[in-house]
Amino acid sequence: MEIKKLNIIISLGLVAIVGILIAQLLWTRQAYNLENKKFNQTVNIALLEVVEKLSGAEASFTKSPIQNIANDYYVVNINNEFHPDVLEYYLKTEFTRLQINTNYVYAVYNCHSDKMLYGKYISPETKSSEHKKISFPKHDNLTYYFSIRFPDKTTYLISSLRFWYLLTFALIIILLVYVYSIYTIIQQKKFSELQRDFINNMTHEFKTPLSSILLATEALNKQQSVAENPKLQTYTSIITSQGLKLNSHVEKILNIAKHDASGFDLKLSKINLYSFIEDILMVIKQKNENIKTELKIDHDLTVEADEFHFSNVVYNLLDNSLKYCDGIPEIRIFSVKDSKGLYLKFQDNGMGIPQKNMPHIFDKFYRVNSKKSDEVNGFGLGLFYVKKVVQQHHWKISVENNHDSGITTTIFIPFN
């Protein structure tokens, strides 16, 4: 995917999440306002009941006896003398009946002393009250009245809307994770493209001098003075073999870089597994006479695979078994079937792999840090290529150490 298209998708996703978050915040605000309105209505109903009980039949009001002075402060006109203890009893009764479960403070106006007295702080949760002198403003146009305030009203409303706030908090976390993930993806993509461009440029720069070296060596071998000198022939053969080896590595790097993003273009065909692997073993034996091999696969067993890439997979696995063996290489190739599919196993007697390195052996450019690895030329691309081809075929690959020595590499090929 191009960076431009990726940026458009990221931008649309970010706008969508920000839009959802803004909508959620607006809904939460609206829910808070509705809860606040509901609370005020419930308090008004409770206080009207208290007024009716305190005033009795003599109650006559031309307008509402309840004034909402502030968001959490109410003044209630009674028009009749009443006792503070009776007021407290009615307040507790009505607030409990209407489920107003928050702390409140009330004070009664005393016309004799012209002061607000008998202030109490009542907590429904602890069902306790305490005498507490508080400062309430007087209202000159009223004679028999009391004032009530809900100091924890905001906290009470927020606690009743905890689901909305938790949902909003979760959306904020999702947005932050999304932004961080997108930032990481962009950074990784830029790094991957930079790495791929560097590899392409580097390998192409290697190809020209390598071709010149190989051509010059071929021309040098045709010279009579070189042909008659065994020592010079040895030197030119070393140059040729090492040049071909380096050229092979460069080609491998180019192929990996080419197919890293888009994957391989597979041309599947039916392959007889026994004859296919046997041909590869014959080629390897021509170069390594001391190798011991054992092939135990049914002669009529076939798989659907890309012949070119599958041969490279088998060759890479066998080549690793040869390179990472201190003695005479012994390779055993066999197959196992179960109800799920076919298990193709490559077992050798090599050095094995430390358990701590096992999870990383298929990573690009990763090589196990050992003395043998320093002696063997390579870039850590062989097993990366193997796993990529296996995944393109929708197969699975795994590696485990043998009980005595070496490793067993298993390719799982499902029947479907």
- What would the pLDDT profile of 57-98 be if each residue is shown by its tens digit? 555 666 778 888 888 888 888 877 778 888 888 888 888 888
Could you tell me if 123 and 180 lie in one domain?
Answer: no
Measured CA to CA, the distance from residue 77 to residue 148 in angstroms comes to 12
Where helices occur in 324-375 by DSSP H, the ranges are: 371-375
Residues 241 and 230 in one domain: yes
Structure tokens at 209: 């001098």
Give the domain-ending residue among 237, 259, 281.
259
Residue 337 has φ and ψ, to the nearest 5°, of -115, 150
Q: What is the mean pLDDT of the chain?
A: 80
* Percentage of the chain exceeding pLDDT 90: 12
125-154 average pLDDT score: 70
- β-partners of residue 270 are 304
Residue 273 clears pLDDT 90, i.e. is over it: yes
Q: Classify the C-alpha dihedral 217-221-226-231 as positive or negative.
A: positive
- Note whether 56 and 175 are same-domain residues: no
Q: Which is more confidently placed, 194 or 323?
A: 323
Q: What is the mean pLDDT of residues 300-329?
A: 87
Same domain? For 154 and 196 the reply is: no
Q: Is it the case that residue 138 has pLDDT exceeding 90? A: no
Same domain, 116 and 199: no
246 and 317 in a single domain? The answer is: no
**Alpha-carbon span 313 to 309, nearest angstrom:** 6
Q: Residue 116 and residue 133: Cα distance in Å, rounded?
A: 9
Q: How far apart are the first and last CA of the chain?
A: 30
Residue linked to tokens 């051509």: 215
Task: Report pTM.
Answer: 0.48
Domain containing residue 214: 163-259
Which region among 99-113, 123-137, 300-314, 341-355 has the lowest average model confidence (pLDDT)?
123-137
Tell whether 335 and 277 lie within a shared domain. yes
Q: How far is 28 from 22, CA to CA, in rounded Å?
A: 10
Same domain (yes/no): 392, 330: yes
Per-residue model confidence (pLDDT) at position 412: 95
pLDDT band per the 50, 70, 90 thresholds, residue 254: low
> How far is residue 327 from each of residues 330, 349, 402, measured CA to CA in Å?
9, 9, 16
Domain count, the chain: 3
Helix, coil or strand: residue 332: strand
Indicate the Cα dihedral angle 240, 241, 246, 251, nearest 10°.
90
CB count within 10 Å of CB 349 equals: 20
Query: What does the alpha-carbon distance between residue 54 and residue 106 come to, in Å, rounded to a whole number?
Result: 15
- Number of Cβ within 10 Å of residue 361's Cβ equals 20
Top-confidence residue, 367 or 118 = 367
Residue 101's SS3 state is coil
Q: Is 102 helix (H, G, I), strand (E, B) or coil?
A: coil
| Residue whose token pair is 């050095």 | 351
83/302 Cα distance (integer angstroms) = 100
Instruction: Please name which of 120, 111, 97 lies closest in space to residue 140, comparing C-alpha atoms.
Output: 111
Same domain, 114 and 233: no
Q: What is the pLDDT of residue 262?
A: 55
Q: In what order do the strands lie in the sheet with 115-123?
A: 66-70, 73-77, 145-149, 104-110, 115-123, 128-131
Q: Which two tokens stand for residue 411?
A: 């390719």
Output the CA–CA distances (angstroms, integers) from residue 13 to 5, 83, 112, in the order listed. Answer: 12, 64, 69
How many CA atoms does the CB half-sphere of 406 hold within 13 Å? 22
If you average pLDDT over each of 251-255, 262-266, 295-299, which comes out highest?
A: 295-299
- Segment 164-214, tens digit of pLDDT: 778 778 878 887 887 788 778 778 777 777 777 777 677 667 777 877 888
| Alpha-carbon radius of gyration of the chain | 42
CA distances from 70 to 108, 251, 407 (A): 18, 80, 80
Q: Which of 160, 178, 211 is the last residue of a domain?
A: 160
Domain final residue, candidates 127, 142, 160 = 160
Same domain? For 176 and 49 the reply is no
Pick from 221, 205, 91, 79: nearest CA to 141? 79
Across the range 119-126, mean pLDDT stands at 70
Are residues 105 and 251 located together in one domain of the fold?
Answer: no
Spell out the residues 6+ positions from residue 52 whose beta carbon is closer than 8 angstroms to its own: 59
Both tokens of 3, joined, read 């960076």
237-250 residue pLDDT tens = 888 877 877 777 67
Q: Average the pLDDT over each of 173-187, 284-298, 346-360, 369-383 and give the range with the smallest value.
A: 369-383
**Angstrom distance (rounded) from CA 222 to CA 32:** 93
By mean pLDDT, which of 47-51, 95-99, 135-139, 330-334 is the weakest? Answer: 135-139
Query: For the residues 349-367, what does the mean pLDDT come to?
Result: 84
For the domain that residue 385 is a member of, what is the CATH number?
Answer: 3.30.565.10
Residue 376 main-chain phi, psi, to 5 deg = -95, 130
pLDDT value at position 336? Answer: 92
Q: Which long-range contacts (CB under 8 A, 24 or more apart) does 359-367 make?
A: 361/399, 362/386, 362/387, 362/397, 364/256
User: Which residue carries 């390719």 as its tokens?
Assistant: 411
Same domain, 58 and 106: yes
